[in-house]
């Protein structure tokens, strides 16, 4: 499934790969898990591609995160505004119910880390603040950066085994990577979420172009794309596929870089049309319920790779025609 | 599959809506009602939807229930779901005072703004009574709010399922008692409640290219 990865491995260490373009191209098809922390930090532009400077920059960034936490999070409520208190309260309500089906995230210390990351991010991004679903987006980063220190099986992980220094570094990496990821999606989480509204509209147009019968059926039944695809864009499909496949999906996301929002439209069209035949047999109510609980529980890399390669193909076919999405 | 040609499986179809602050247990209440289970759920993003068939007042009823996200940021999205609802359930958490005060500060106003149905039945539900030791909102306060606002009231626990069915049953029985709502829910017009369109972004302002 991931030929590119082995090429990446054979080319020895990342330090010798000068070209970020090559890293992106190879990462698109999946990154071996032991390289993922380094590759993700590079792809997001958090770690410097220049290996001489890399450690220095990371050390500085991690210190900066610690300073933010002590300045914004580790303060008494009396020093917070009402809005900030409300935001912290909302984050505290959401952390325990973040990916509730993965037991690792039920550990109290993990939830505390999540709370610090989210609150610090929200305070530093006042145009959006904390929006539900951003909590989901931190979880792949937490998993990947923890995997640098903890052994194979996530179910057996215990965050208390790690030193405070390590936990703080992991949190900082999650914080900065989340910030970088959301840089190209700022208006997805601001008032009325115009960025998501725009992409849902593009998705509807693309699906109409690719699969007219299913598009017509959905329209006849009165099904709105917002009724199911809003969550897809808001949580980047984390809610729709098993957690163990999420990091592979994110290899492709992060390889896309700034082009990610537009490419999401192709991935989600491909994801939706996995069930093209099925959808055409359902009425409105059945469709809404089907789309909100898609049968992906037993998915393996194979199904996911199919979604991604079809998205790639459609992107090559349709993205080159200049007015393909004009209605 | 096509409802217009086959024998309808129900006499009336009603559209219900769940609203209230984030984390009060709207989705848990709905899950408890539709599938008799309780589990930890992720926060709802946008809206969720479930259907339940019930027999009440000698009628076969299909309940189409929209479950909305509580966070303020999603309100532009959720506001379109008030339209055409015959029943609205306002949920608060008896262990969190602010979820109760927000009923008058936020949720009653949302209903005034977006509900299109004058006769729409409203029901106030205080959830999480299983956490009796953590209770901060008394039953009396709930009763008083309901009297003032003119709505039904019950306390329940989605976790222990105490009063869960009653919440929906009382609401639906009141809908069945209201001729204008009954007319809307009759099978002849059943498709219409789904044809409502959520607001769309202005395509001319937002497409690529």
CATH number at residue B37: 3.40.50.300
Residue from B47, B105, B107 nearest B77 by CA: B47
Searching chain A, which residue's CA lies closest to the CA of residue B202?
A: A198
Task: Count how many pairs of residues, chain A against chain B, have C-beta atoms within 8 Å.
Answer: 108
Q: Are B157 and B129 in contact (CB under 8 A)?
A: yes
pLDDT confidence bin for A161, thresholds 50/70/90: confident
Is B15 strand, coil or helix? strand
pLDDT of B168 strictly over 70: yes
Residue B199 forms part of a structural domain? no
The partner residue sitting opposite A224, judged by closest CB among B98, B198, B208, is: B198
CA A260 to chain centre: 10
| Chain A, nearest residue to B2 by Cα | A283
Query: What is the average pLDDT score of chain A?
Result: 92
Assigned CATH for A194-320? 1.10.472.80
How confident is the model over A75-83, as a mean pLDDT?
96
Question: How much of chain A is in helix, strand and coil states, percent to nearest 5?
Answer: 70, 0, 30
Q: Which residue in the set A226, A281, A282 is minimally distant from B198, CB to CB?
A: A226
Select the residue from B1, B42, B67 to test the A interface by mutation, using most A Cβ atoms within 10 A: B42
Residue B6 lies in a domain: no
Do residues A65 and A120 make contact, with C-beta atoms less than 8 angstroms apart?
yes
Q: pLDDT band for position A154 (50/70/90)?
A: confident
Q: What is the pLDDT of residue A323?
A: 55
Q: Which of A77, A118, A128, A133 to mutate to test the interface with B (most CBs of B within 10 A)?
A: A133
Closest Cα in chain B, distance from residue A198 (Å): 6
CA distance B126 to chain A (A): 18
- Residue A44: name the closest of A107, A122, A137 by CA: A137
Q: Are A34 and A151 in contact (CB under 8 A)?
A: no
Quick: pLDDT tens for A208-250.
Answer: 999 999 999 999 999 999 999 999 999 999 999 999 999 999 9
Say how far apart CA A205 and CA A326 lie, in whole Å.
8
Strands B87-93 and B152-155: unpaired
Could you list the residue range(s) of the whole structural domain that residue B132 is in?
12-185
Contact, A86 vs A119, CB < 8 A? no
Using an 8 Å CB-CB cutoff, list chain A residues near B4: none
Could you tell me which of B70, B68, B66, B65 has the C-alpha nearest to residue B24?
Answer: B70
Asked if residue B201 is part of any domain, the answer here is no
Coil, helix or strand at residue B164:
helix
- Range list for CATH 1.10.472.80 in chain A: 194-320
- Residues sharing a CB contact under 8 Å with residue A85, sequence separation 6 or more, in sequence order: A77
- Per residue in A45-62, pLDDT (tens digit) is 999 888 888 999 999 999
Q: In this prediction, does ipTM exceed 0.85?
A: yes
Domain assignment present for B95: yes
Nearest chain A Cα distance for residue B67, angstroms: 12
In this prediction, residue B204 has a pLDDT band, given cuts at 50, 70 and 90, of very low
> Is residue B196, in this structure, part of any structural domain at all?
no
Which tokens sit at A36? 């993922």
| Res A322: pLDDT | 54
Q: Do B208 and A325 touch (CB under 8 A)?
A: yes
Is pLDDT larger for residue B46 or for residue A5? B46
The answer to whether B14 touches B87, Cβ cutoff 8 Å, is yes
Q: Is the pLDDT of residue B104 over 80?
A: yes
Number of domains in chain B: 1
Tens digit of each residue's pLDDT (9 = 90 or more) over A168-195: 999 999 999 999 999 999 999 999 999 9
A326 contacts B209 by C-beta, under 8 angstroms: yes
Give the best residue of A130, A188, A220, A226 to mutate against chain B (max B CB count within 10 A).
A226
Chain A residues whose beta carbon lies within 8 Å of the beta carbon of residue B52: none
pLDDT above 90: percentage of residues in chain A: 83
pLDDT value, residue B202: 45
């Amino acid at each position: 499934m991931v030929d590119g990865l082995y090429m990446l491995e054979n080319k020895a260490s990342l330090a010798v790969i000068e070209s970020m373009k090559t890293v992106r191209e190879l990462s698109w098809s999946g990154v071996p898990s032991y390289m993922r922390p380094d590759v993700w930090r590079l792809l997001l532009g958090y770690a410097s591609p220049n290996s001489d400077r890399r450690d220095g920059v990371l050390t500085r960034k991690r210190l900066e995160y610690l300073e933010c936490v002590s300045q914004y999070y580790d303060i008494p409520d009396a020093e917070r505004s009402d809005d900030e208190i409300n935001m912290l309260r909302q984050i505290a309500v959401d952390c325990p119910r973040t990916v509730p089906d993965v037991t690792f995230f039920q550990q109290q210390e993990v939830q505390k880390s999540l709370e610090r990351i989210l609150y610090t991010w929200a305070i530093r991004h006042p145009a959006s603040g904390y929006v539900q679903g951003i909590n989901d987006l931190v979880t792949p980063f937490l998993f990947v950066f923890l995997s640098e220190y903890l052994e194979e099986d996530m179910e057996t992980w215990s965050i208390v085994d790690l030193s405070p220094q390590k936990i703080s570094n992991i949190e900082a990496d999650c914080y900065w990577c989340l910030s970088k990821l959301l840089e190209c999606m700022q208006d997805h989480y601001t008032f009325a979420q115009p960025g998501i509204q725009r992409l849902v509209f593009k998705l509807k147009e693309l699906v109409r172009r690719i699969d007219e019968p299913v598009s017509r059926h959905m329209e006849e039944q009165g099904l709105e794309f917002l009724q199911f695809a809003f969550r897809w864009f808001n949580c980047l499909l984390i809610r729709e596929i098993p957690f163990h496949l999420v990091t592979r999906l994110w290899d492709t996301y992060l390889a896309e870089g700034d082009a990610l929002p537009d490419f999401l439209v192709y991935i989600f069209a491909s994801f939706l049309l996995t069930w093209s035949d099925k959808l055409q047999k359902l009425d409105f109510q059945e469709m809404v319920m089907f789309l909100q609980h898609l049968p992906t529980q037993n998915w393996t890399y194979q199904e996911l790779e199919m979604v991604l390669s079809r998205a790639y193909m459609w992107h090559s076919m349709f993205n080159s025609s200049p007015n393909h999405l004009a209605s | 599959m096509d409802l217009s040609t086959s024998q309808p499986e129900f006499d009336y179809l009603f559209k219900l809506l769940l609203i209230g602050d984030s984390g009060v247990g709207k989705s848990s209440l709905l899950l408890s009602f539709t599938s008799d289970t309780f589990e930890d759920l992720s926060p709802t993003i946008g809206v969720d939807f479930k259907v339940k068939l019930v027999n009440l007042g000698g009628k076969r009823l299909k309940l189409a229930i929209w479950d909305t996200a509580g966070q303020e940021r999603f309100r532009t999205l959720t506001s379109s779901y008030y339209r055409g609802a015959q029943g609205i359930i306002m949920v608060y958490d008896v262990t969190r005072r602010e979820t109760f005060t927000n009923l008058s500060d936020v949720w009653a106003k949302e209903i005034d703004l977006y509900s299109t149905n004058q006769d729409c039945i409203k029901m106030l539900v205080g959830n999480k009574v299983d956490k009796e030791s953590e209770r901060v909102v008394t039953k009396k306060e709930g009763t008083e709010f309901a009297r003032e606002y003119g709505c039904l009231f019950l306390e329940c626990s989605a976790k222990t399922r105490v009063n869960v069915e009653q919440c929906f049953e009382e609401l639906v029985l009141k809908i069945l008692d209201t001729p204008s709502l009954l007319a809307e829910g009759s099978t002849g017009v059943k498709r219409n409640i789904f044809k409502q369109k959520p607001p769309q972004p202005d395509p001319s302002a937002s497409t690529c290219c």
